Structure 1
Amino acid sequence: MIKNTTKWVLPIITALLTLFLVISSFMPHRKTLIVVTRETTATKKQIWKQWADVPNRKNWDTSMEYATIDGPFQTGSTGEVKLSGQPLSKYEIIYCKELEAYTDRFSLPLFAKMDFIHMIKPSDKGNEVTFKVELKGPFIFVYAGMIEKTLKAELPLAVDKLISLAEAD
């Protein structure tokens, strides 16, 4: 009985995986999920201070239970983030130029990666703070809708709170 089942199950699984791979090859492998930009009177140092203080990010990101960093706030450092109702996630800072920008990357199943890109640029009011979230990988369509909905609900509020804290500092 098991041998007979194996004869037809394995080819079906192989066909489905092949179909999945073919379909994903025609899908985009990079998608910007959200971009949030705010002008602020806060200085670059005030903004950077909020970003670099990883354990206290929960003060401006209310969906976060806690965050850690293993080492200094720089390229190559890693850490963990625990969001409410979500499993623990690990990240790596893949780019960091002090007082200008940094990117932290989260690896997801199915070879996907989610990059949180943070930038500070001069503006008429003082500075412009931008958060951009990109999803990369062959199977991003699996995650995009679900993650995008959550980010659109939560990220603008977090950026507004970050700006408020930075301006008050």
Structure 2
Amino acid sequence: MESIIADIVKIIKSENNVIAREKALMCYFFDLIRELMTAALEEVDAGLVEETKKQGYQIEKKNKRSVVTAFGEISYWRRRYACPGKKAKYPLDKLMGYDKYKRYSVLAVKDILQVSAVATYRNTALAVNTLSCFKISHSKVGKLIVQTGKQIKAQQQSAGILA
């Protein structure tokens, strides 16, 4: 904790411009949150080993994954499990709601979609890039909207809401 305080004091003293100072502090805190989140995810993954092995799965390998969350991109290591006759799985990804092949967390997508409901794709990208610690292009905003729309439609169809 003392080293964190020392880092913060150093940032405060090193910047003369108030905007640059606050931006540097914001980036420092988001970096710290991402480090803590990575460590926590890896600890949770380790805690899932026993339970997953009881289901008949064995650890196949460890893979690294990156996900863009509301507080920026995090990268973490998680275990892939295999079981004869069953589909391989990543219990940590399932627990966190990180869909296969999706780069953005549910909350990050929700936040982007909320802004896009009242702004153009370019303005949505500008707002996200200004107010968060990750960058997104206007074209990616559009792709996320289309992907999410298809996902919602499929969920509604499977639930019998749409004919």
Report the TM-score, using the length of structure 2 for normalisation: 0.26
When you count helix as a share of all residues, which structure comes out higher? 2
Greater RCO between the two (CA within 8 Å, min separation 6)?
1
